[in-house]
Structure 1
């Protein structure tokens, strides 16, 4: 009797219920005459193992023998064919993850680093609007530079800043996928940049009111409404609109307004609370705003929450001004450069910018509060039309 290949395709079909050996550990186990399953018995490291090779007759005798040969070769290599098959299935399953899933998982893992846990959607929106509609259903392992190029080419030159954000976020997603154990091309985004070329479009700066024209505009904000008061304090402090719009009475102590770290632009840093010295004019604006406060917020909207950035911008639009609220930061910075000799580090700190490298910041313990207090007091005088003289700063 042959040690292997005992069965024939015709003979296997005629067999009744029971266990039937083909030889060399391969068995056809029939539950009934018309159906059954293939079983391979092997010994791995002295342990007997039974490995299913598929249902009969869906898996033919020839296919079962071929699978059995592959499994026996694995055993001869000192490996367990069952574990190797399971490992291959896991790897295949990992590689089937689509970009939609990876992008959302990457976003979830980074929420704690983003302002407001990323609720504003600014981190995810470049992906959601420009990448996922085209690439979201692709397995992340299949995405290459040509896919990325074709996806972003329509906005690469016309919406350059948005395209740069989108490709940057996509690079983070690919790194996240690699950290999960997926086989991805981590250089795909860099290769796509090479294919797309240098963007022709240059992002325009936010229009700003020249600092010499700020006093006239400030004087026109005189009706005591929430919008007028918010714009006045925005001009006086040089902060971004978000922390100002969410300004709470509890953040003000004496003549210092402490903006929580979560309210500052960029990643959350437990040590990054930002102190804003308040001039007498700024304190007067805050006192007037208290009459409008709701739940402690100084600049509430008409219905609920706080006023939006668009509310202040629309006021300027209605006056047919090109300048926008955020531009008052540039007005202040230009005044510092042209009308004072404020040191660079002090001037940049006034706008909440990070100054110096990590080592330098670790050794510098000051936030230049007193120097900034003097400068903002002089800025308030300029804004209110009381003084136009050049400021001389003495570094302490």
Structure 2
């Protein structure tokens, strides 16, 4: 069985092909027939990694938030894998290809590398489902070759909840940045939904965040209701004159203010804490200064708890209890005593 002539086929490529077809023969299959079948398939359709990745993405769209329109599922592959391996037929992809491609980011961008490896494994399983002869263990073998990542994840710096009232009081100017930070602290929401807050999402003392805007609630079909304290409603009213194109916190270019705008404000103040860290501040206050049940405290931050079956039967978002806690949190931020909060029915 010829493998191709030099220099069209390099020595390294010849060795790789030799090893592959030997395995096919050892399994009792005819390597020449299988190669010819692959060549016919290749003429019939492109089986490059880029094409199979696109096909796998199309098949998974319904499982992804917003049908994957944001491109987050594809981005680790688009940025770090496909530029090098996109034209390689999936049937020829092996652990050494994957190792060499992800080695530059394996220890420096560990989370991105992990996502790329996981997505690549999904693509290979998709290729196998299409009937292509791929190595489903290639990603696991590549991990073994790469070794354990030396990267140590760092938590986003958070401000001690006892220090938050002083910082909140310093946000006294009715600028978009100050008002956005105030509402972020008051509600405990993530930066994305807050920066993209639209006026029609607010109805009285309830702010309703669309399901597809809620990170961490994969497959969520229900919107998330945020109870607004009197202080939160006051902050929203102060921000209304700034509203443009329906957004409460617009920027000058027609979009909304960026996450970096909020982060840079805290950085210029010489603070290590970052805006996202106020969620930790609120959660720690709930644990140390209230008797809020675990489920209610987690619901304050829109965390998903319990399994899907349990959530299906528990038809509540604890809105009334969360509203009580939101009011007491606002009172604490405005100089209240911060005394232990007792929820009705818990004692």
TM-score, length of structure 2 as denominator length: 0.83
Partner of 1:317: 267
Residues 268-277 or 159-168, more deviating: 268-277
> 1:297 deviation in Å?
1.0
**Structure ID, larger Rg:** 1
Secondary structure at the aligned position of 2:233 is classed as helix
Provide the rounded CA distance (Å) in 2 between the counterparts of 1:152 and 1:330. 33
Residue in 2 aligned with 1:213?
163
Shift of 1:356: 0.1
Match of 1:386 in 2: 336
Cα separation, partners in 2 of 1:295 and 1:112, compared to 1, 3 Å: farther
Separation in 1, partners of 2:174, 2:184: 14
Name the structure 2 match of 1:144. Answer: 94
Partner of 1:292: 242
Structure 2: 5+ residue runs without aligned partners? 1-33
Report deviation, 1:223. Answer: 1.1
Q: 1:376: which partner in 2?
A: 326
2:250 paired with 1:306: no
**Partner-residue secondary structure (3-state), 1:212:** coil
Match of 1:233 among 156, 163, 183: 183
Alpha-carbon contact 2:217-2:304 (below 8 Å) kept: no
Give the superposition deviation at 1:115.
3.4
The reply to whether residue 346 of structure 1 matches residue 296 of structure 2 is yes
- 2:216/2:303 contact within 8 Å kept: no
Q: Match of 1:5? A: none
User: When the two structures are aligned, how many residues end up with a matched partner?
Assistant: 313
Bigger relative contact order, structure 1 or 2, given CA contacts below 8 A and separation 6+?
2
Match of 2:114 in 1: 164
Structure 1 stretches of 5 or more lacking a match?
Answer: 1-83
Q: 1 or 2, which has the higher helix percentage?
A: 2
- Structure 1 residue corresponding to 2:131, chosen from 164, 167, 181: 181
Q: Equivalents in 2 of 1:368, 1:332: separation in Å?
A: 17
1:224 equivalent to 2:174? Answer yes
Partner of 2:31: none
Pick from 284, 305, 312: which aligns with 1:362?
312
RMSD of the alignment, in Å?
Answer: 2.3
Aligned to 1:102: 52
Q: Deviations over 1:349-394 (max 9, x none)?
A: 1111111011111111111111111111111111121231122234
Moved more, 275-284 or 115-124: 115-124
Q: Which protein is richer in strand relative to its size?
A: 1
Structure 2 matches for 1:275-286, cutoff 5 A?
A: 275-286=225-236
1:262 aligns to what? 212
